[in-house]
Amino acid sequence: MGKAGEKSIKHPIMDMEIAWRKAKTWLCPPYDRETRDEVQNLIDTNPDALYDAFYKELTFGTAGMRGIMGVGTNRVNRYTIGKATQGLADYLRERFPAAREIKIAIAYDCRHHSRAWGTVCANILSANGIQVYIFEDLRPAPELSYAVRHLKCQAGIVLTASHNPPAYNGYKVYGSDGAQVVPPRDKAIADRVNKTRTADIKWGGNAARIEWIGQAVDDAFIQACLREAHHTTTGKKELKIAFTPLHGTSIKLIPQALRAAGFENIHIVEAQAEPDGGFPTVKSPNPEEPAALQMVLNLADEVGADIAIGTDPDADRIGIGVRDLKGRMTLLNGNQTNTVLMSYLLKRWRESGRLNGAQFICSTLVSSDIFYSLAKEYETELKLTPTGFKWIGKAIGESEGQLEFIGGGEESFGFMVGDFVRDKDSVASTLLACEIAAVAKAQGSSFFRELLAQYAKHKLYRDRQISIVEKGAEGAKRIQRWMRELRENPYEALDGSPVTRIADYQRGVACESKEKTERPLTGIPASNLLIYHTEAGSKVAVRPSGTEPKIKFYISAQATLDRVENYEKTQVRLDEKIDRITAEMGIKSH
């Protein structure tokens, strides 16, 4: 079970006919000559590429619209960007009919065409009578989230494909709360976009309604980060930091923010400091992939850094390397980083007398179970959400006026400190991580030892994520078959331990194996996610990615850590358990 199926370049005749008819409409105005020539070339020479470019429309997923750049309805280009923006403008006019003025903030990253498409968005929105605030140069996505709230906008847009490879670009939409849009608004926007024709787009622009923003918003954002993530000056001058923006937007703010917080010993990977959408020094600019952070680890060894930090192109994800018990630089996964950040925040809140039972933290369903223990230790509510920070933003919005938000994170290298930003934020997270490292060093400890202290207090959790890429229409079908097989023919045991519970968040039910009953899963939005739990405490979650052609597996195992000195031995034992589970399920990245 779980086999992906055979690859094929053949497509159903009816589907191919639909794709061909769509492509033919791109052979005349209003599409420009360059676009028409590219489409004609696909028709003449590459039917498979034509099919993938036109067989469907790009849709809003867990992080907006994202895809490969190129011609076609299933590609990111000025026309799909234009349709999305015109549809968004029409939606906002319908949603805010009595607004004296509708305002939108726009940011863009370093990717090819991002700046140009940001200008396209500004022109379309201003031509629709909307006031536009657009950053004068590339900026981190979390700063856009902040700017929406700071400038009291009804919406925001970021042109980015986050951590995806160079061929990708995308379009994130934010609501007035600074969080990415969620149901039913994302569907309402998508429906409005789908009703929009290319001929409906108002391309002209109105310069009087476009305002360029920059340093003033930067300064306000950095001050907000300092208020939430800067608690002490202890050890900051002595901490050595190695940093890389991976050719992305964080170079604009993180070095400034670190210096404003009192850090002086900052070393930047010069070969990766220049923004570049081709990402020439890495295969993929994703801090989740160890190869992407190799240069910053090398720099850390060269300068004797205590901590190494790398961010993805739009600066929402953060990767961290620290010294292990033997003094070697080692990369942490997202759950490990978030464990240390969360425990430190909770400790600070308790020490300052701010914990009174009216606070909460957030994590996602596929993240580590250690956050249950942290919430219990500090008598704080834990809210779980589906994967994607838009759901954490939604949880914050629903709790306003009732509960205070302390922090939240997900396993995919994202964390958020406080609620002044409503998206994962590497800027404030970097400040917090470096403060933890500085305080620990001053006290004769380290960031890594702080992690082990949490494992000894709670349990040692070992996590592994495996992503299997399945490109194109046929790949999407293979992913669907895999999910269906795991639902219809579930495993009864994994690594010799009985499966005690299977939670299906698409159906909204959990099957308790011992009782052979189904119970409703309440309070969590539906998503295509399946989670197996075993008697031994292992967990396997599986879901299709909402932004990439992948199926993702999250495998977790746990054990008691009796002594910090036994960490490596216990970790090896858990890794072997995860190896057995992945082999049993036939899960192998390719």
Whole-angstrom Cα distance, residue 222 to residue 514? 52
Q: What phi, psi does 414 have (nearest 5°)? A: -125, 140
Name the strand (E) or helix (H) holding 542. Answer: strand 539-544
Whole-angstrom Cα distance, residue 192 to residue 155? 15
Return the biggest CA–CA distance within the chain.
71
Cis peptide before 30 (omega within 30 of 0): yes
Instruction: Choose among 257, 221, 253, 246: nearest CA to 434.
Output: 257
Within a 10 A sphere around the Cβ of 518, how many other Cβ atoms? Answer: 14
Q: What is the DSSP letter of 83?
A: H
Whole-angstrom Cα distance, residue 338 to residue 408? 8
Q: What angle, rounded to 10 degrees, do the helices at 185-195 and 78-95 form?
A: 120
Of residues 114, 126, 162, 412, which has the active-site annotation? 162
Residue listed under structure tokens 């969620």:
182
Which tokens go with 344?
A: 């430190």
Q: Is 429 tagged catalytic?
A: no
DSSP annotation string for 135-181 = ESS---HHHHHHHHHHTT-SEEEEE--TTS-TTEEEEEEEETTSBBP
Reduce the secondary structure of 438-498 to three states and give it as a string: HHHHHCCCCHHHHHHHHHHHCCEEEEEEEEEECCHHHHHHHHHHHHHHHHHCCCCEECCEE
Residue listed under structure tokens 């360059």:
34
Q: How many helices (H) and strands (E) does the chain have?
A: 17, 23
Residues known to be catalytic: 162
